[in-house]
Amino acid sequence: AQSVAQPEDQVNVAEGNPLTVKCTYSVSGNPYLFWYVQYPNRGLQFLLKYITGDNLVKGSYGFEAEFNKSQTSFHLKKPSALVSDSALYFCAVRDPFGANNLFFGTGTRLTVIP
Amino acid sequence: DGGITQSPKYLFRKEGQNVTLSCEQNLNHDAMYWYRQDPGQGLRLIYYSQIVNDFQKGDIAEGYSVSREKKESFPLTVTSAQKNPTAFYLCASRPSYNEQFFGPGTRLTVL
């Protein structure tokens, strides 16, 4: 079965410090992986995706993610956190058998402390 | 959120009532989705549609119904059979490539 795990419900980081939001996945076949961000009472915004190719994927707002096949991980990173990065982050994996449906993790709330 | 609209933004329902949530997209996407979001549970798929006049149940379809009569529209009805409907509902659409695009959501509260 396809699934993603976000082991941390909450991540706190000081403004200007690097941030990492963790995601591990389980999928049959080649993984298609995604990161989304959600601000309060809003829909999800797409940040980046990994389909194939370079293991380091660059996305919106200075975010990047590193795909690691051996560790089945797809951690989201940013070199220098901003207070405006505070939000709820979701990792997702595409279901290769189910019409491109996505399985979402439970989310990680990132708080950037000024 | 651009290109996908959901209405209303907030919706209140009395127990025993059916309510319909609207989702419209002008992105010419074939596929559309409905998700339910509860605190600490992430997003769970209710229904999805890959093409007009066709739709499939997701993981938590009980107590919900949908229709897809037009490419642009994918309304969700929350019926009285849904015992715990209070949640944040998100609609999404997807073009031929992989990522889904989300609407701004509707927060449904049962009074």
> What residue ranges of chain A have pLDDT lower than 50?
none
**Which residue do the tokens 């389909």 mark?**
A51
Give the pair of three-digit tokens for residue A43. 């829909």
Q: Contact A43/B31, CB-based, under 8 Å?
A: no
Cross-chain CB nearest to A100 (options B40, B43, B94): B94
Kindly state whether A32 is in contact with chain B, defined as any CB-CB distance less than 8 angstroms.
yes
Q: Which residues numbered 63-92 in A keep a CB inside 8 Å of some CB on B?
A: 90
In this prediction, residue B2 has a pLDDT band, given cuts at 50, 70 and 90, of low
Q: What is the pLDDT of residue A30?
A: 84
Interface touch A106/B104, C-beta < 8 Å = no
Q: What is the pLDDT of residue B98?
A: 75
Interchain CB distance below 8 Å, A43 and B48: no
Strands A73-78 and A56-58: unpaired
Tens digit of each residue's pLDDT (9 = 90 or more) over B67-100: 999 999 999 999 988 889 999 999 999 987 778 9
Higher-pLDDT residue of B53 and A30 is B53
Structure confidence by residue, pLDDT tens digits, B5-31: 999 999 998 888 999 999 999 999 999
Q: What is the mean pLDDT of residues B103-111?
A: 93
Is B105 at the interface with chain A, CB within 8 A? yes
pLDDT at residue A98, as a whole number:
62
**CB neighbours of A79 closer than 8 A, spacing ≥ 6?**
A18, A62
Residue B15 amino acid letter = E
Instruction: Work out whether the CA dihedral A97, A27, A23, B40 comes out positive or negative.
Output: positive
Cβ-based contacts of B35 with chain A (< 8 Å): 104
Alpha-helix runs per DSSP H in chain A = none
Rg, Å, chain B Cα set: 13
B46 in contact with chain A, both atoms CB, cutoff 8 A: no
